[in-house]
Structure 1
Amino acid sequence: MPTPFRYTEPLPPRAATGRVAEVYAQLSRDFGIDKPVTFVVLSSAPEILAPAWALMRESLIAGPGSRTGKELAALGVSLANRCPFCVDAHTMLLHATGDHALAERLAAGGRPENEEHARVLDWGERTRVPGGLRTGPYPFPREHAPGYLGTALAFHFINRIVSALLTENLLPGNAQRFRAVRSLGGRALARTVRRPARPGDALTLLDPVDPGEAPAWAGGTPVGIAYAALLRAAMAGAGLLDADDHDLVEQTVQDWDGTHPPLALSGFPDRRERPGARLALLAALAPYRITDEDVAAWRRPEHTDHCLVHLVAYGAFLAVDRVESALNRPIART
């Protein structure tokens, strides 16, 4: 049977126990999708799975701001990161919000007719470029910033995980490319998407250790705690690299300007000489370019699925951190 998983073999969701089972239960209740592969692929590393879900839930689902607006922000991020799986997913979720015409306009490659919607989509796309939001106001009210910023950063992480570790097909045979399937899928999720979610519920799934200081942009909301927890968990993957590879990866991402690498991947480490550094950098800057050969060059008997998830998460979050740290706060709309 075809599998959506490229390089890992997660346990069947029905076999989940402990924190993984708790995350799946909350996903089913609050996201409306039973055990989505975007999170199942992280299940071999529960310490990554839980905060990744928490950041998405507390921002996109339970955070301040309209669900349509935050779906547009997530879609813009996914377009900028060239993640067709997530682009298709958020188009379907726009159907779930009830914005059917908007969803189909975007599915056809168009732009929103509504000026506010267009600004939010554009804002999401521009978040890929560190410092790209230097000028101009946010396209949403000041009090909604934690929801929108958290959503954008969550999907900069999720896009990279998906592109690195899953196939591009949201549904078997790319069935989501048919309008009727998109519409029916959205309608099936409509009740859950439109139901209010209580902020903070996902925080009970996090490790009982202090994740560190929450970012100021989160405004004291649960979004900030979830972000800090994911940062702490993802950065643990640095331990899979030696000191020289660690320094190379972090300096390269720090110098990154948001562009997509050239086809020749000039400047990337050779997979035969520095396979771990290459994988981490690809996860950060071009996860859709990870090949079987890249993974095989790094894999050794001690490199389990747990290790691969951690290495990819480390690279992915370095890019997220670069985007977040370069946010020059615009004057928020009042």
Structure 2
Amino acid sequence: MTSPFRFTSPEPFDRTTGTTAAVHAQVTRDFGIEGALPFVALSPAPDLMAGAWALMRESLLSGHASRTEKELVTYGVSLANRCPFCVGAHTLLLYAGGDPELAGALARGERPADPGHAQLLAWGQDMRKSAPFPADEAPEFVGSALAFHFINRIVSALIDEESVSGGADPDELLDSEAGRALVRAVRGRPEPGLSLPLLGTEGPWPAWAADTPVGAAFGALRSAAHAGAGLLEERDAAFVRESVAAWDGFSPLPLSGEGLPDRAERPGARLALLAARAPYRITDEDVKAWWVEPYTDHCLVHLVAFGAMLAVERVAEEFTGAARA
């Protein structure tokens, strides 16, 4: 069977131990998907895996805001980031949540008929727009959006989306034991904070997260992702940071490759910058140019996560600036 992973060989979820196994168990229980591919892709780096799971769980799955409304935001994020795997996943989750008409319209490329839903989708595509949710729900909506700005990039960089996306009928998928488990999970509301004991790192909480578990999860994921900078020479890490800081947070990297480091001369900087701005453009040649002994799957996942987190922080800056304005 062909692996869905482009460059790495993660341990099968049912053979893992320790933190990795504990995260997989929570994902199965609270997300409703056994061996969810984005978290398997992150599993060579358990601190990243736990941080990404905690951020998604505490913002998208837990809390008080409408799950449907948060799914619309994450659908918009995934559209903006050109992540067909995640677009398809959010469509299925809307079906599972009991919104088949909305999910069907989105699957046909239509905008939501409900104006409020349309606003949420548009905000997910560009968080510089006016926030269409109450201020006290910002930790959930912003956390959900930023979780998928990170997860989209991990998926596009590390998973073969063509081999795992596509065309199954949602009714057939949900009319199975696994589908019924997904429905139960989507329509449930897991207790907040239960992912936090899985976190192995800490970091500063962002102001938008207030005093919520979402802030702890974001801080931990950020700290774990920034550890990937240690895989680069200092000048390359600085170059990537400066390049992402000069970006508007939303436009893709030009296809001409202007500003993209040379593959042969600065392969690590190239990979990290692509992970930030155009992860779907990472090629086998890009990875082979960088991957030398003693690098491992753990290292590649951390380098991709470093670029992805820089992008997440840049998007968060744009949101914060727009909110102040």
TM interval, shorter chain, is over 0.9
- Shift, 1:4, TM fit: 0.7
Output the amino acid matched with 1:28.
T
1:269-280 alignment runs, 5 A limit: 269-280=261-272
1:242 to 233, 240, 245: 233
Output the amino acid matched with 2:152.
N
C-alpha separation in 2, matches of 1:97 and 1:150: 20
> Which range is displaced more, 233-242 or 259-268?
259-268
What are the ranges of 5 or more consecutive residues in structure 2 without an aligned counterpart?
none
- Shift, 1:179, TM fit: 5.1
1:193 to 169, 182, 186: 186
Output the amino acid matched with 1:82.
R
Whether the aligned pair in 1 keeps the contact of 2:85 and 2:164 (CA below 8 Å) is no
- Shift, 1:41, TM fit: 0.7
- TM-score, structure 1 as length reference: 0.92
CA 1:278–1:126 in 2, change beyond 3 Å: closer, same or farther?
A: same
C-alpha separation in 1, matches of 2:9 and 2:123: 36
Quote the residue 2:109 is aligned against.
109
Q: Is residue 220 of structure 2 the alignment partner of residue 267 of structure 1?
A: no
Identical-residue share of aligned pairs (%)? 56
Quote the residue 2:83 is aligned against.
83
Whether the aligned pair in 1 keeps the contact of 2:74 and 2:90 (CA below 8 Å) is yes
Output the amino acid matched with 2:214.
V
- TM-score, structure 2 as length reference: 0.95
Quote the residue 1:21 is aligned against.
21
Deviations 1:126-179 (A, max 9, x none): 03xxxx23xx3x21122211100000000000000000000114747x233x45
Deviations 1:9-39 (A, max 9, x none): 0011121000000001100100000111110
C-alpha separation in 1, matches of 2:185 and 2:270: 40
C-alpha separation in 1, matches of 2:69 and 2:321: 21
1:178-327 alignment runs, 5 A limit: 178=169, 180-181=171-172, 184=175, 189-207=182-200, 209=201, 211-257=202-248, 258-326=250-318, 327=320
CA 1:71–1:78 in 2, change beyond 3 Å: closer, same or farther?
A: same
- Shift, 1:264, TM fit: 2.3
Quote the residue 1:145 is aligned against.
138
Q: For this pair of structures, how many residues does the alignment match? A: 321
Whether the aligned pair in 2 keeps the contact of 1:38 and 1:158 (CA below 8 Å) is yes
Taking only aligned residues, the RMSD between alpha carbons, in angstroms, comes to: 1.7
CA 1:147–1:64 in 2, change beyond 3 Å: closer, same or farther?
A: farther
C-alpha separation in 1, matches of 2:306 and 2:260: 17
Deviations 1:227-260 (A, max 9, x none): 0000000000000000110111010000012211
C-alpha separation in 1, matches of 2:26 and 2:259: 42
Divergent runs of 4+, >3 A: 169-172, 178-188
C-alpha separation in 2, matches of 1:64 and 1:285: 32
C-alpha separation in 2, matches of 1:57 and 1:119: 23
Secondary structure class of the residue paired with 1:175: coil
C-alpha separation in 2, matches of 1:285 and 1:10: 24
Output the amino acid matched with 2:40.
V
